[in-house]
Amino acid sequence: MDNPLLNMTGLPPFPALRPEHVEPAIDAVLEENRSRVAALLAATDHYAWDSLVAPLEALEDRLNRTWSPVSHMNAVVNTPELRAAYNACLPKLSDYATEMGQNEALYAAFRSIAEHAGFGTLDPVRQRIVSNALRDFRLAGVALDPERRERFRAIQQRLSTLTSKFEENLLDATHAWFRQVTDTAELAGLPDSALAAARQAAATRELDGWVFTLEYPSYFAVMSYADHRPLREAVYTAYVTRASDQGPHAGRWDNGPVMEEILALRHELAQLLGFRNYAERSLATKMAPDTGAVLAFLEDLAGRSLAMAREELDELHRYAREHHGLERLESWDITYCSEQLRRHRHQLSQEDLRPYFPEPRVLEGLFAVVERLYGVRAELQPGVDTWHPDVRFYRLVDEAGEVRGQFYLDLYARAHKRGGAWMDECIVRRVDAQGRVQVPVAYLTCNFNAPVEGRPALFTHNEVLTLFHEFGHGLHHMLTRIDHASVAGINGVAWDAVELPSQFLENWCWEPEALALISGHHETGAPLPPELIRRLRAARNFQAGMQMVRQLEFGLFDFRLHLEYDPARGARVQEILDEVRAQVAVVAPPAFNRFQHSFSHIFAGGYAAGYYSYKWAEVLASDAFSLFEEEGIFDAETGRRFLRTILERGGAQEPMELFIEFRGREPEIDALLRHNGIAA
């Protein structure tokens, strides 16, 4: 069989990729890698960068490039056949990673490089790669006895299966539920954009009327605007019980047992490596010095935010009573009443802004902002093979005419596509043995409403923020100047610093100079009027206290789950969540709420015992942006300095060193508090 996964030289040939190609390709690459590693180790007993580390990086890169399109398609065009092929490879990839991490001869070879007199003459980037590798060998269990090694391998294999299962349960539960509406009375309050999308969803299912789903744009529209309280309650109930033992599909895709087993195995894994718990294991590759520092950071922010959050909730209760006759505010009323209160106080709704953020203008403006800051322009490249007709492909070109990176842009929600928004790597920058530069390629994925009824896709301001956030990650990946894949772009970056470029870029979405570039009425082209800009900025910190404690709830819940795991007591998922809510939350959800069953960031993503990273990195992002507030938001010199010190350096240096090089000092929390309207 001619296998396109094995014959790739450039971009993945997505239309040619079939589920039956996946397992044979991975088997072939893993077999070839194993034999090549053995040959490298046998070739000499004096190991050096060029004879060992560089060839190993080439092997790892080929494996990543083979797997990347498979993993990506599994997330964005999921089918039963592709899912089966993907899952069949997970244990094989896990086994291979553990086998390499526990390879004593390989570990000894890296140690010999680090201990050789010539190590000090290697450039600092190569020294860091070798040091990282030695750390990662230890974290892979290279020092364990054979019995414990085997247990470590079994745990890793099982965890790769369980995290995939968590995501599959969530995907299936999300797409299994919908609500058909044929009575127009139930549609009161919903904006035209939501109704058009719901009509299209009904037509796709060959149903009359309107269909609302649990895809985020549909869910958010109902929760924010639907006057009909029973509709809000039905959609809320289905959404917060996805993949759980509660709600309309109770028990069908229940992630409860999956979470229990994941947490038990992570704890056992950490203890095998000599850590007391998985939170300690998580911090081995992060900026935060220890678990106490993380808890103190989150609890300090909670202490600064709680009073403000409680005042905001009290105000919401008063407003709901006086203006909507709601004596008791239920969870399905919070978003709706908050939106009504925002309108009442600021004469502003997300829907008021949507006509001013048509997709073509937003993209054009985003690219203009990036060009002003970093001197790179985005150019659409037609005719590139993709996995769906809606996907587009661009390249980034700098002022010298060099192609610095390329990216796929997949913006719209659809069936068989994972929810949320993310950036992922397709190809990582590296320079090969012949001196050829491998241009980095990113996947940029969102879940916005598609164009309907002849209009372009119209974004809310929140969606514009999401797009800027993911593009910030993409720039970190694409603009790197590091020549070694393991520390190029986001690779090798401490996870609690990786959100710096993404959260940083969001700031331009609030600035009048930038809003002039990213907004323009979809019918008239008129920019966002100054009065709307004033109201948007005035409403920036609307309920910022409530939003802050919500994020702190997620961060503390995640961290304590992994810090306090006790095999004798089990995971105590609901118990710990209830305790955290008693400590920092101001909104108490109903007993049937199972938010944790869809918390894929920590159960299926890279944020286990690391969700605090969003707030940790927001301190860095806010402080970095404050320099632009001082120098001018489009100050070219400051923009190029951020490019040189943060975006181009990837994981080649400690994040704190890079931040100090950019800012001239260590980060301070004042800008974060100011940007969130919380008194310092």
List 186, 371, 470, 499, catalytic entry? 470
CB atoms within 10 A of CB 414: 15
CB atoms within 10 A of CB 161: 15
As a residue count, the chain comes to 680
Q: What is d(CA 646, CA 472) in angstroms, rounded to the nearest whole number?
A: 11
What would the DSSP string read from start to end of 104-157? HHHHHHHHHHHHSGGGGGS-HHHHHHHHHHHHHHHHTTTTS-HHHHHHHHHHHH
Structure tokens at 106: 């390989």
Secondary structure (3-state) at 432: coil
Structure tokens at 321: 């009573």
**Is 470 annotated as catalytic?**
yes
**Alpha-carbon separation of residue 278 from 18, 563, 598 (angstroms):** 37, 6, 20
- How buried is 176 (Cβ within 10 angstroms: 0-12 exposed, 13-18 middle, 19+ buried)? middle
Is 494 within 8 Å of 286 (Cβ atoms)? yes
Beta strands in 428-475 (DSSP E): 430-431, 437-438, 441-448
**Residues 6 or more apart in contact with residue 430 via CB below 8 angstroms:** 57, 61, 437, 438, 483, 484, 485, 488
Q: What is d(CA 351, CA 459) in angstroms, rounded to the nearest whole number?
A: 9
- How buried is 578 (Cβ within 10 angstroms: 0-12 exposed, 13-18 middle, 19+ buried)? middle
Q: What is d(CA 276, CA 196) in angstroms, rounded to the nearest whole number?
A: 53
Of 582, 544, 545, nearest in space to 560 by CA: 582
Structure tokens at 70: 């498979």
Is 647 within 8 Å of 374 (Cβ atoms)? yes
Is 420 within 8 Å of 68 (Cβ atoms)? no
Tell me which residues are annotated as active site: 470
